[in-house]
Amino acid sequence: MLRLITGIPGPSGFGSASTAEQVTEGIDATNLTAIITGGASGIGLETARVLALRRAHVIIAARNMVAANEAKQLILKDNQTARVDVMKLDLCSMKSIKDFADNFIALNIHLNILINNAGVMFCPFQLSEDGIEMQFATNHLGHFYLTNLLLDKMKDTARVTGIEGRIVNLTSVAHLHTYEEGIRFDKINDQNCYSDKKAYGQSKLANLLHANELSRRLQEEGENITVNSVHPGLITTNLMRHSARFVSMF
Ligand SMILES: NC(=O)c1ccc[n+]([C@@H]2O[C@H](COP(=O)([O-])OP(=O)(O)OC[C@H]3O[C@@H](n4cnc5c(N)ncnc54)[C@H](OP(=O)(O)O)[C@@H]3O)[C@@H](O)[C@H]2O)c1
């Protein structure tokens, strides 16, 4: 926590004050293709911008195509040779996720990096298109399903290219602040005991457990793909749309 607040570098030489450009300096990502969910704003947009700067082929997966195209234009404004595409993905709809995966696979290109970044935070109780509490549906289940649909493509890519694949789940220190039982599998949709904060924590705990278990399984299978979860720090973004008062306390 001290490092997080002060920005003191860790063993890698980087810390919470390091920028994405600093961390990726000198990297040539020409041969890499990356999907970034929620890449039209906030952390996802900065990730897309910097991966494109390092010459990766970036796919911004977004539910709002107007915002996604604006994000693409923003990246191209400073980097005219950037390879950026936008594709429709709504993580709170299983159908949209399947369509996205089918469309991506139909492109017949490699997939080296999957950044499960999109998220919603502290929203009032609501159900997804599939009838699942919105934070759990969007932050965890959507990414879980998406990752499973794209996993064979990532395994093939890693085998054919010999390049280590990467899956990154954006989680949060909020994974520590969840319901007493951790994840309430039998009460996910129970509005009576819904807490917007704990439901967010629950979904972020699920992101973390998903990364840990997938990492373990891929290692066991001998696949050349690493899976990590990351807390990105506290950054003012659109994520705070349901929590302006709460966040202003920090
Ligand atoms: N900012 C922080 O301090 C912080 C701290 C810890 C963890 N995180 C995590 O970092 C990640 C990125 O957050 P951020 O701060 O960059 O917030 P953000 O600017 O609000 O970005 C989140 C992105 O996710 C997209 N999204 C939301 N629901 C979606 C859905 N159903 N389908 C597809 N895309 C959807 C949003 O699109 P719309 O614009 O269409 O809603 C937006 O582009 C999140 O997973 C968050 O939990 C952030």
Q: What is the pLDDT of residues 55-92, one digit of tens each?
A: 999 999 999 999 999 999 999 999 999 999 999 999 99
Residue with tokens 């990297």: 27
* DSSP result, 128-145: -TTSSBHHIIIIIIIHHH
Looking up residue 63, the CATH number of its domain turns out to be 3.40.50.720
**Is residue 93 in some structural domain?**
yes
* 62 DSSP β-pair partners: 88
Q: Are 177 and 144 in contact (CB under 8 A)?
A: no
- Dist CA 104 CA 152 (whole Å): 12
Statement: residue 31 has pLDDT above 70: yes
Measured in Å, residue 236 CA sits from the centre of ligand 1 at 11
* Residue 18 tokens, joined: 């390091």
| CB of 92 sitting under 6 A from ligand 1 | yes
Please enumerate in sequence order all residues whose Cβ is within 8 A of that of 109, keeping only pairs 6 or more positions apart, or say none: 33, 57
Strands in 57-62's sheet, in edge-to-edge order, are: 83-88, 57-62, 33-37, 113-116, 165-170, 225-230
What is the reported pLDDT for 89? 98
- Does residue 94 sit within a domain? yes
Residue 212's DSSP bridge partners are: none
Domain count, the chain: 1
Ligand 1 centroid–CA 220 distance in Å is: 31
- Residue 1 falls within a domain, yes or no? no
| Structural domain span for residue 58 | 28-248
When pLDDT is cut at 50, 70 and 90, the band that residue 237 belongs to is confident
Instruction: Please give the Cα distance from 116 to 131 (Å, whole number).
Output: 22
Residue 5 domain flag: no
Return the pLDDT at 9: 87
In single-letter form, the type of residue at position 220 comes to E
Has 194 been annotated as catalytic? yes
Q: Whose CA is nearest to atom 42 of ligand 1?
A: 38
